[in-house]
A = this chain, B = another copy of it.
Amino acid sequence: MKLFWTPASPFTRKVSVAAREIGLWDEIEIIQTTWPLSWGFETVPFTPGLAENNPVARIPTLVTDAGHALGCSTLACQHLDRLSGGKLTGPEPDRMWSLYAIADGLIEAQILMRAEHLRPSEYRMESFLQKQRDRIERCFDAIELRAEELQTSGDTNSPNLAEITVGIAASYQDWRDWLGNFRHGRPALTRWYENFRLRPSMCATEPAETPEA
């Protein structure tokens, strides 16, 4: 498999962490992508091969061994899940996907804020940023109320995709200084995350800025 990748993207990190947790990371060839900072508001030159494989021209894009490009992190993780016999889904798919959808929507709000910050300041809307902050707060609150579903932490069991996505959302919140501290008023999530973030799959995928060229 091939993965169009960058270390800054939490959507891409989902694929990286999931593949490591189920032992498929070594099957994936990583293609580092570059992104001029203007990606947030204009068409930019794409890393060779990206738009040819996936006309959405977005990361992550996972190209399967059969050559099918999956240009969406959920679909890419589901492909890995099928290869692993369902390790990422676990015994209660609907419950797991419902928590996953919250964490994934949270990450989308984080990335929408990132793109808004990249706009020239005169085109930036504070109310748009606030809309995303409100969404992020609601999502973290909902995750706190469902913290009993976060069961895999620093131990050797394999986490499901909801746990992986919650962990990555929390980590991104810590990484970007324009995002607030998710810990206030959320003791159960905080306790779980302090162990989850120490997993080898998380330590090996700490975010870093994407090369601009």
**Do most interface residues of chain A lie in helix, strand or loop, or is the interface mixed?**
helix
Residue of B whose beta carbon sits closest to that of A79: B94
- Quickly give the copy total for this chain: 2
**Contact, CB under 8 Å: B72 / A94:** no
**Contact, CB under 8 Å: A125 / B123:** yes
A75 to chain B, nearest CB (A): 5
Within the complex, which residue of B51, B74, B123, B142 is in contact with A75, where a contact is CB–CB below 8 Å?
Answer: B74
**Contact, CB under 8 Å: A128 / B68:** no
Residues of B within 8 A of A142 (CB): 55
A62 to chain B, nearest CB (A): 10
Assembled-state Cα–Cα distance A102/B106 (Å): 23
Interface residues of A in 108-154 (CB under 8 A from B): 108-109, 119, 123-125, 127-128, 130-131, 134-135, 138-139, 141-142
Assembled-state Cα–Cα distance A108/B57 (Å): 13
With an 8 Å Cβ cutoff, the count of chain A residues facing the other chain is 48
Is A105 part of the contact surface with B, judged by Cβ < 8 Å? yes
**Contact, CB under 8 Å: A128 / B72:** no
Assembled-state Cα–Cα distance A29/B43 (Å): 41
Residues of B within 8 A of A30 (CB): none
Is A201 part of the contact surface with B, judged by Cβ < 8 Å? no
Residue of B whose beta carbon sits closest to that of A95: B68
**Contact, CB under 8 Å: B42 / A101:** no
Is A19 part of the contact surface with B, judged by Cβ < 8 Å? no
Assembled-state Cα–Cα distance A36/B116 (Å): 21
Is A98 part of the contact surface with B, judged by Cβ < 8 Å? yes
Is A41 part of the contact surface with B, judged by Cβ < 8 Å? yes
Interface residues of A in 25-76 (CB under 8 A from B): 41-43, 51, 54-58, 64, 66, 68-72, 74-75
Identify 4 new A-B residue pairs, CB closer than 8 A, beyond the known A43-B134, A55-B138, A123-B123.
A51-B138, A56-B101, A58-B105, A75-B97
Closest 3 CB pairs of A and B: A56-B105, A55-B138, A42-B127
Report 27 cross-chain contacts, Cβ distance below 8 Å, ordered by A residue.
Answer: A41-B125, A41-B127, A41-B128, A42-B130, A43-B130, A43-B131, A43-B135, A54-B105, A55-B105, A55-B139, A56-B101, A56-B135, A57-B135, A57-B138, A66-B94, A66-B95, A68-B94, A68-B97, A69-B98, A69-B101, A71-B98, A71-B101, A72-B104, A79-B94, A82-B93, A119-B128, A123-B125
